[in-house]
Amino acid sequence: MGRLHVYKYQGAGNDFVIVDNRLGEAGCLTPRLVNRLCDRRFGVGADGLMTLCAGTEADFDMHYYNADGLEGTMCGNGGRCLVAFAALMGLSHFEFTACDGLHRAELCSQEGNRSVVRLRMRDVDPPVRLPDGWLLETGSTHFVQWVKDLASYDVPGEGRRLRWDARFPKGANVNFVEASCDHLFVRTYERGVEAETWACGTGSTAAALASYAKGEKCFVRFAENDAERIKFAIRTLGGELAVDFIAEPDGFFRDVWLTGPATRVFETDIDLDRLFD
């Protein structure tokens, strides 16, 4: 199988294996190999794997795989980490395609291995209100539920129970939210990882939009380009994120941006022939 050069990045504790595939060197990737690379005991260890591919309609393409080895839906923190990686590879423009369409990003700052990246997410339809929470699509399907004392809440147990709820035929990511006076505390059980992750970008986005629709007031308003924007500060187990957007009167959300850190952890060569010893 040969050798594969990989990089590891993390965004607020949401971690990823990244492979530069612009010349097609990563054709060896299979679901079994992706799963082993993401394994925290026998591989590199990550919540998912991404490849940076030559752009067909933009500067580059993003291909994302969950830790289970299967192709996943949009990953917000992964997208931010891939932008930081693209900058490391010498790219200076950050418009890219993912499974949910075209995205644009801004490299806000860079110091050593740590970058701050602002990523434009997809526009989002009005959330669907359910008896025990809200359902919405932010590039991935997310169910958002508010709980008290989230720090001690059984996120793995309740997340696993709700992840395959009959109301979600294709499964859903499950986000538990606790609102305070100036931020949202968000914990997420992710499908494809089948565990709680330390942060989730599309989940944090879903939590912010659903919280606004629900009437939570822990946001700030600011004006930009003659438009009023809403901004939520997000606290996760792995760090802080921010989500800002324009809320339309009809319940739609547009020009949605996710901002947070993206840090290069290390890079290494993997001997693929020995990975399954």
**Neighbour-count burial of 48, counting CB atoms closer than 10 A to its CB (0-12 exposed, 13-18 middle, 19+ buried):** buried
Nearest alpha-carbon partner for 162 in 184, 137, 130: 130
Q: Which two tokens stand for residue 63?
A: 């291909």
218 is catalytic: no
At 34, which helix (H) or strand (E)?
helix 31-38
Q: Counting runs of H as helices and runs of E as strands, what totals does the chain give?
A: 4, 17
Evaluate the CA torsion angle 120, 198, 18, 170 in order and state its sign. Answer: negative
Q: Which of 38, 53, 81, 200 is catalytic?
A: 200
Q: Which of 75, 81, 181, 218 is catalytic?
A: 75
Query: What CA–CA distance (Å, rounded) separates 165 from 157?
Result: 13
How far apart, in Å, are the Cα atoms of 150 and each of 157, 174, 176, 203, 204? 13, 13, 7, 15, 15
28 is catalytic: no
- Provide the terminal-to-terminal Cα distance of the chain, rounded to the nearest Å: 13
Q: Which two tokens stand for residue 106?
A: 């801004």
DSSP, res 249:
T
Catalytic residues: 75, 200
